[in-house]
Amino acid sequence: MQKNQKTMKSFKFTINGNKYATDIISVEDTHVEIEVNGTPYKIEVEKELKTTKTPKLVRPVAVPSTDAHPAVAKTSSPTAPKGAGAIKSPLPGVILEVLVREGDPVKLGQRLLVLEAMKMENNIEADKAGKVLQIHKAKGDAVMEGDVLITIGE
């Protein structure tokens, strides 16, 4: 091993009052070459050293029910059996206004409520025609992304 080879890492230790300057010269599988206070050593570790990687946070893509064009229903299709559908919050925010009441008939694309998220007002629209079965949030409520806001059914 040449002395002028670039080292991977340098460490300074004090053990029982003695100072040690340590350079890791190379790491290959379980074999490590180090230099302690200028003296080279070849050591073998018991298990293979692996370079650690920073973990990546992987989140599933959230597709809010309000992203669809009003002509495209997400909670039901014309040939599917009819049932209740949930209108979910596309973003975290605060409910500014609820424009429907339980029992109201709604049309596809009708504005149901207004959600303030990131200092912007977002219209939340019906993605299916039917009747408002239940309103889960009220004006002033804080909501998280994916929270069920309104249930629409037959």
pLDDT tens digits along 109-150: 999 999 998 889 999 999 888 999 999 999 999 999 989 999
- Closest to 116 measured CA to CA, from 153, 143, 150, 80: 143
Q: How far apart are CA 150 and CA 45, in angstroms?
A: 60
Report if residue 49 sits inside a domain: no
In a shared domain, residues 38 and 113 = no
For the chain, the average pLDDT equals 80
Give the residue numbers spanning the domain of 36.
Answer: 9-44
Report if residue 54 sits inside a domain: no
Of the pLDDT bands very low, low, confident and very high (cuts 50, 70, 90), residue 3 is very low
**C-alpha distance from residue 103 to each of 39, 115, 151, 152 (Å):** 84, 21, 11, 9
In a shared domain, residues 76 and 37 = no
- Is residue 127 a contact partner of residue 68, using CB atoms and an 8 Å limit? yes
* Residue with more model confidence, 29 or 24: 24
